[in-house]
Protein backbone atom coordinates (compact mmCIF):
# COMPACT_ATOMS: atom_id res chain seq x y z
CA UNK A 1 0.00 0.00 0.00
CA UNK A 2 1.18 3.53 -0.74
CA UNK A 3 1.48 6.43 1.65
CA UNK A 4 -1.57 8.33 2.83
CA UNK A 5 -2.10 11.79 4.27
CA UNK A 6 -4.70 13.56 6.40
CA UNK A 7 -6.45 16.75 5.31
CA UNK A 8 -9.75 18.65 5.72
CA UNK A 9 -12.53 17.62 3.35
CA UNK A 10 -13.25 19.66 0.23
CA UNK A 11 -16.20 19.93 -2.14
CA UNK A 12 -14.66 17.56 -4.69
CA UNK A 13 -14.68 14.82 -2.03
CA UNK A 14 -18.49 14.61 -1.86
CA UNK A 15 -18.95 11.62 -4.22
CA UNK A 16 -16.20 9.70 -2.40
CA UNK A 17 -17.65 10.57 1.01
CA UNK A 18 -21.09 9.34 -0.05
CA UNK A 19 -19.67 6.11 -1.42
CA UNK A 20 -17.53 5.50 1.67
CA UNK A 21 -20.53 6.11 3.97
CA UNK A 22 -22.87 3.85 1.99
CA UNK A 23 -20.33 1.01 1.99
CA UNK A 24 -19.58 1.32 5.70
CA UNK A 25 -23.07 1.90 7.12
CA UNK A 26 -25.53 0.82 4.45
CA UNK A 27 -27.62 4.01 4.48
CA UNK A 28 -29.40 5.12 1.31
CA UNK A 29 -28.39 8.07 -0.83
CA UNK A 30 -31.23 10.32 0.40
CA UNK A 31 -30.17 9.99 4.04
CA UNK A 32 -26.48 10.55 3.25
CA UNK A 33 -27.27 13.65 1.19
CA UNK A 34 -29.50 15.00 3.97
CA UNK A 35 -26.75 14.49 6.54
CA UNK A 36 -24.20 16.26 4.38
CA UNK A 37 -26.57 19.16 3.69
CA UNK A 38 -27.17 19.65 7.41
CA UNK A 39 -23.67 19.13 8.78
CA UNK A 40 -20.95 19.56 6.16
CA UNK A 41 -19.21 22.87 6.72
CA UNK A 42 -15.58 23.97 6.47
CA UNK A 43 -13.63 22.04 9.08
CA UNK A 44 -16.44 19.56 9.82
CA UNK A 45 -14.78 16.48 8.31
CA UNK A 46 -11.25 15.11 8.15
CA UNK A 47 -10.27 12.60 5.49
CA UNK A 48 -7.33 10.36 4.72
CA UNK A 49 -6.22 10.44 1.09
CA UNK A 50 -4.18 7.75 -0.66
CA UNK A 51 -3.58 7.21 -4.35
CA UNK A 52 -5.71 10.27 -5.14
CA UNK A 53 -8.74 8.82 -3.38
CA UNK A 54 -10.45 9.31 -0.03
CA UNK A 55 -9.94 6.09 1.95
CA UNK A 56 -11.16 7.15 5.40
CA UNK A 57 -13.25 9.94 6.93
CA UNK A 58 -14.85 11.13 10.16
CA UNK A 59 -17.11 14.08 10.95
CA UNK A 60 -16.80 16.77 13.65
CA UNK A 61 -20.26 17.95 14.66
CA UNK A 62 -20.14 21.00 16.91
CA UNK A 63 -22.99 22.43 18.93
CA UNK A 64 -23.95 20.16 21.86
CA UNK A 65 -23.87 21.74 25.32
CA UNK A 66 -23.29 19.50 28.33
CA UNK A 67 -25.00 20.63 31.52
CA UNK A 68 -23.67 19.21 34.78
CA UNK A 69 -26.27 19.80 37.52
CA UNK A 70 -26.09 23.28 39.06
CA UNK A 71 -23.13 24.22 36.87
CA UNK A 72 -22.33 26.17 33.75
CA UNK A 73 -22.52 24.47 30.37
CA UNK A 74 -19.55 22.82 28.71
CA UNK A 75 -19.25 23.09 24.93
CA UNK A 76 -18.76 19.86 23.04
CA UNK A 77 -18.14 18.37 19.63
CA UNK A 78 -19.57 15.02 18.61
CA UNK A 79 -17.21 13.02 16.39
CA UNK A 80 -19.22 10.69 14.22
CA UNK A 81 -19.27 8.06 11.46
CA UNK A 82 -15.64 6.94 11.29
CA UNK A 83 -15.32 4.87 8.12
CA UNK A 84 -12.33 3.38 6.31
CA UNK A 85 -12.29 1.70 2.91
CA UNK A 86 -12.10 -2.08 3.29
CA UNK A 87 -8.86 -2.34 1.30
CA UNK A 88 -7.14 0.16 3.57
CA UNK A 89 -8.09 -1.16 6.98
CA UNK A 90 -5.57 -2.48 9.47
CA UNK A 91 -2.95 0.20 8.79
CA UNK A 92 -3.86 2.65 11.54
CA UNK A 93 -5.56 5.06 9.14
CA UNK A 94 -8.87 5.14 11.02
CA UNK A 95 -7.05 5.72 14.30
CA UNK A 96 -5.14 8.63 12.79
CA UNK A 97 -8.33 10.19 11.38
CA UNK A 98 -10.10 9.89 14.74
CA UNK A 99 -7.16 11.38 16.64
CA UNK A 100 -6.94 14.26 14.16
CA UNK A 101 -10.66 14.96 14.67
CA UNK A 102 -10.20 15.01 18.44
CA UNK A 103 -7.26 17.40 18.23
CA UNK A 104 -9.11 19.74 15.88
CA UNK A 105 -12.28 19.70 18.01
CA UNK A 106 -10.43 20.38 21.26
CA UNK A 107 -8.98 23.55 19.79
CA UNK A 108 -12.51 25.03 19.91
CA UNK A 109 -14.53 22.97 22.41
CA UNK A 110 -14.30 21.93 26.06
CA UNK A 111 -14.68 18.23 25.30
CA UNK A 112 -15.19 15.74 22.47
CA UNK A 113 -17.91 13.09 22.61
CA UNK A 114 -18.21 9.83 20.73
CA UNK A 115 -20.83 7.07 20.82
CA UNK A 116 -19.35 3.57 20.40
CA UNK A 117 -21.59 0.97 18.80
CA UNK A 118 -19.98 -1.96 20.62
CA UNK A 119 -17.48 -2.83 23.37
CA UNK A 120 -14.54 -3.24 20.99
CA UNK A 121 -15.02 0.37 19.89
CA UNK A 122 -15.18 1.53 23.50
CA UNK A 123 -11.74 -0.02 23.98
CA UNK A 124 -10.55 1.56 20.72
CA UNK A 125 -11.61 5.11 21.69
CA UNK A 126 -10.23 4.74 25.22
CA UNK A 127 -6.84 3.69 23.86
CA UNK A 128 -6.74 6.16 20.96
CA UNK A 129 -7.65 9.34 22.88
CA UNK A 130 -8.11 8.51 26.56
CA UNK A 131 -11.89 8.77 26.20
CA UNK A 132 -13.91 7.73 29.23
CA UNK A 133 -17.55 6.89 29.74
CA UNK A 134 -19.59 9.87 30.92
CA UNK A 135 -23.06 8.61 30.11
CA UNK A 136 -25.06 5.57 31.12
CA UNK A 137 -28.62 4.74 30.10
CA UNK A 138 -31.50 2.56 31.15
CA UNK A 139 -32.61 0.38 28.27
CA UNK A 140 -35.04 -2.44 27.71
CA UNK A 141 -37.05 -4.43 25.18
CA UNK A 142 -40.79 -4.82 25.63
CA UNK A 143 -43.52 -6.56 23.62
CA UNK A 144 -47.10 -5.45 22.96
CA UNK A 145 -48.57 -8.04 25.36
CA UNK A 146 -46.58 -6.48 28.24
CA UNK A 147 -48.29 -3.14 27.58
CA UNK A 148 -51.86 -4.38 27.29
CA UNK A 149 -54.27 -3.20 29.97
CA UNK A 150 -52.07 -0.33 31.13
CA UNK A 151 -53.81 2.95 31.81
CA UNK A 152 -52.44 5.46 29.35
CA UNK A 153 -53.13 8.80 27.77
CA UNK A 154 -52.92 9.72 24.12
CA UNK A 155 -49.61 10.15 22.30
CA UNK A 156 -49.79 13.48 20.47
CA UNK A 157 -47.25 14.41 17.81
CA UNK A 158 -45.34 17.64 18.51
CA UNK A 159 -42.94 19.69 16.43
CA UNK A 160 -39.20 19.40 16.88
CA UNK A 161 -39.12 22.91 18.33
CA UNK A 162 -41.85 22.19 20.88
CA UNK A 163 -40.14 18.94 21.84
CA UNK A 164 -36.87 20.81 22.38
CA UNK A 165 -38.51 23.28 24.77
CA UNK A 166 -40.34 20.59 26.74
CA UNK A 167 -37.16 18.55 26.98
CA UNK A 168 -35.21 21.47 28.44
CA UNK A 169 -37.96 22.05 31.00
CA UNK A 170 -38.10 18.39 32.09
CA UNK A 171 -34.32 18.03 32.41
CA UNK A 172 -33.47 21.40 33.96
CA UNK A 173 -31.23 20.91 37.01
CA UNK A 174 -30.22 17.41 35.95
CA UNK A 175 -27.06 16.30 34.10
CA UNK A 176 -28.03 16.37 30.44
CA UNK A 177 -27.06 17.46 26.94
CA UNK A 178 -28.75 20.16 24.88
CA UNK A 179 -29.03 19.00 21.27
CA UNK A 180 -30.32 21.80 19.08
CA UNK A 181 -29.79 23.38 15.69
CA UNK A 182 -28.50 20.87 13.09
CA UNK A 183 -28.88 17.93 15.50
CA UNK A 184 -32.56 18.66 15.97
CA UNK A 185 -33.04 19.17 12.23
CA UNK A 186 -31.42 15.83 11.39
CA UNK A 187 -33.25 13.91 14.09
CA UNK A 188 -36.56 15.39 12.95
CA UNK A 189 -35.81 14.30 9.38
CA UNK A 190 -34.70 10.79 10.44
CA UNK A 191 -37.61 10.08 12.76
CA UNK A 192 -40.38 11.44 10.58
CA UNK A 193 -38.94 9.70 7.52
CA UNK A 194 -39.10 6.39 9.40
CA UNK A 195 -42.72 6.90 10.44
CA UNK A 196 -41.84 7.95 13.98
CA UNK A 197 -41.35 11.47 15.35
CA UNK A 198 -41.58 13.52 18.52
CA UNK A 199 -44.47 12.84 20.90
CA UNK A 200 -46.00 14.14 24.13
CA UNK A 201 -48.07 12.00 26.50
CA UNK A 202 -49.73 14.12 29.19
CA UNK A 203 -46.59 16.18 29.69
CA UNK A 204 -44.08 13.36 29.32
CA UNK A 205 -42.18 13.11 26.03
CA UNK A 206 -40.59 10.59 23.70
CA UNK A 207 -38.51 10.63 20.52
CA UNK A 208 -39.28 7.65 18.30
CA UNK A 209 -37.70 6.06 15.24
CA UNK A 210 -39.36 3.17 13.41
CA UNK A 211 -37.24 0.44 11.84
CA UNK A 212 -39.58 -1.96 10.07
CA UNK A 213 -41.68 -3.62 12.76
CA UNK A 214 -39.34 -2.40 15.52
CA UNK A 215 -40.18 0.79 17.41
CA UNK A 216 -37.03 2.41 18.76
CA UNK A 217 -37.85 4.88 21.51
CA UNK A 218 -34.56 6.74 21.49
CA UNK A 219 -35.54 8.93 24.42
CA UNK A 220 -38.40 8.61 26.90
CA UNK A 221 -38.66 11.20 29.67
CA UNK A 222 -41.32 10.59 32.34
CA UNK A 223 -40.05 12.30 35.50
CA UNK A 224 -43.34 12.24 37.36
CA UNK A 225 -45.20 9.44 35.67
CA UNK A 226 -45.09 5.78 34.75
CA UNK A 227 -42.73 5.21 31.81
CA UNK A 228 -44.54 2.00 30.81
CA UNK A 229 -47.83 3.90 30.54
CA UNK A 230 -46.10 6.38 28.24
CA UNK A 231 -44.81 3.45 26.19
CA UNK A 232 -48.31 1.95 26.08
CA UNK A 233 -49.63 5.24 24.67
CA UNK A 234 -46.94 5.17 22.00
CA UNK A 235 -47.80 1.55 21.21
CA UNK A 236 -51.44 2.50 20.68
CA UNK A 237 -50.34 5.03 18.06
CA UNK A 238 -47.38 3.12 16.60
CA UNK A 239 -48.09 -0.63 16.45
CA UNK A 240 -44.92 -2.70 16.33
CA UNK A 241 -43.64 -6.20 17.00
CA UNK A 242 -41.18 -5.00 19.64
CA UNK A 243 -40.39 -1.77 21.49
CA UNK A 244 -36.83 -0.79 22.36
CA UNK A 245 -36.69 2.01 24.92
CA UNK A 246 -33.99 4.21 26.47
CA UNK A 247 -34.32 6.47 29.50
CA UNK A 248 -31.84 8.38 31.69
CA UNK A 249 -30.41 6.50 34.67
CA UNK A 250 -31.78 9.17 37.02
CA UNK A 251 -35.40 8.81 35.84
CA UNK A 252 -37.82 5.84 35.92
CA UNK A 253 -37.14 3.27 33.22
CA UNK A 254 -36.01 -0.28 32.44
CA UNK A 255 -33.75 -2.10 34.89
CA UNK A 256 -30.81 -2.72 32.56
CA UNK A 257 -28.12 -0.04 32.80
CA UNK A 258 -25.59 0.20 29.96
CA UNK A 259 -22.62 2.48 29.15
CA UNK A 260 -23.36 5.01 26.43
CA UNK A 261 -21.47 8.18 25.51
CA UNK A 262 -17.71 8.58 25.95
CA UNK A 263 -15.75 11.83 26.08
CA UNK A 264 -12.17 13.03 25.76
CA UNK A 265 -11.11 15.99 27.90
CA UNK A 266 -8.12 18.26 27.27
CA UNK A 267 -5.61 18.70 30.09
CA UNK A 268 -6.88 22.25 30.72
CA UNK A 269 -10.45 21.11 31.40
CA UNK A 270 -11.58 19.66 34.69
CA UNK A 271 -13.59 16.50 34.02
CA UNK A 272 -16.53 17.58 36.13
CA UNK A 273 -19.26 15.62 34.39
CA UNK A 274 -21.04 12.87 36.34
CA UNK A 275 -21.17 9.45 34.73
CA UNK A 276 -24.97 9.60 34.69
CA UNK A 277 -25.09 12.40 32.10
CA UNK A 278 -28.03 11.95 29.70
CA UNK A 279 -27.05 12.38 26.08
CA UNK A 280 -30.41 11.68 24.52
CA UNK A 281 -31.68 11.11 21.01
CA UNK A 282 -28.38 11.21 19.09
CA UNK A 283 -28.27 9.23 15.86
CA UNK A 284 -26.10 6.18 16.41
Per-residue pLDDT tens for 39-56? 999 999 999 999 899 999
Is residue 155 in a domain? yes
Residue that terminates a domain, selected from 78, 101, 131: 131
| Confidence bin at 12 (pLDDT 50/70/90) | very high
**What would the pLDDT profile of 185-201 be if each residue is shown by its tens digit?**
999 999 999 999 999 99
Contact 61, 101 (CB under 8 A): no
Indicate if 123 and 140 belong to the same structural domain: no
Q: What is the CATH number of the domain that holds 103?
A: 3.40.630.30
Indicate whether 127 and 157 sit together in one domain: no
Q: In this structure, are 140 and 127 located in the same domain?
A: no
First to last CA, the chain: 31
| Residue 95 pLDDT greater than 70, yes or no | yes
pLDDT of residue 101: 98
Q: What's this model's pTM, rounded to 2 decimal places? A: 0.93
Domain interval for residue 15? 4-131
Residue 127 sits in the same domain as residue 195 = no
Question: Is there a single domain that holds both residue 10 and residue 92?
Answer: yes
Domain count, the chain: 2
User: Would you call 46 exposed, middle or buried from its count of C-beta atoms within 10 A (0-12, 13-18, 19+)?
Assistant: buried
Task: Find the mean pLDDT for residues 224-242.
Answer: 94
Look at residue 50 and tell me if it is in a domain. yes
Domain assignment present for residue 282? The answer is no
pLDDT at position 274 is 65
Domain check: are 145 and 177 in the same one?
A: yes
Instruction: pLDDT band for 125, please (50, 70, 90 cuts).
Output: very high
Nearest to 98 by CA among 79, 117, 111, 113: 79
| Residue with the larger pLDDT of the pair 63 and 269 | 63
Looking at the structure, tell me whether residues 79 and 92 fall in a common domain. yes
In a domain, 84, yes or no: yes
Domain of residue 234, CATH code: 3.40.630
DSSP the chain: ---EEEEE--GGGHHHHHHHHHHHH---HHHHHHHHHHH--TTSEEEEEETTEEEEEEEEEEEEEEE-TTS--EEEEEEEEEEE-GGGTTSSHHHHHHHHHHHHHHTTSSEEEE--SSHHHHHHHHHHH--EE--EEEEEEE-HHHHTT------EEE-HHHHHHHHHHHHTTSSEEE--THHHHHHHHHHHHHT-EEEEETTEEEEEEEETTEEEEEEEE-TTS-HHHHHHHHHHHS--SEEEEEEETTSS--SEEEE--EEE--TTS-----TT-B--S---
Confidence grade of residue 276 (pLDDT, cut at 50, 70, 90) = confident
Q: What is the pLDDT of residues 111-121, one digit of tens each?
A: 999 999 888 99
24 in a structural domain: yes
If asked whether residues 150 and 243 sit together in one domain, one would say: yes
- Say if 204 falls within a structural domain: yes
| pLDDT at position 58 over 60 | yes
Q: Is residue 271 predicted with pLDDT exceeding 70?
A: no
Residue 279 lies in a domain: no
Q: Could you tell me if 111 and 225 lie in one domain? A: no
Mean pLDDT, rounded, for 66-77: 83
Same domain, 118 and 171: no
Does residue 268 form part of some domain? no
| Mean per-residue pLDDT over the chain, rounded | 93
Amino acid sequence: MSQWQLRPWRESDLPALRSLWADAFGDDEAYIRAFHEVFLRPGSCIVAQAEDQVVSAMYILEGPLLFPPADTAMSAAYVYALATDREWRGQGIGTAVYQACVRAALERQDTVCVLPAEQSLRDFYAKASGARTISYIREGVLYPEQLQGLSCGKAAAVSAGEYYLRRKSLLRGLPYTVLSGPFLTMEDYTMRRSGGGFFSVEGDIAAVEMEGDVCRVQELLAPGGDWMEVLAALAARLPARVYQVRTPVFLPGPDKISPFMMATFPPRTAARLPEGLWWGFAFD
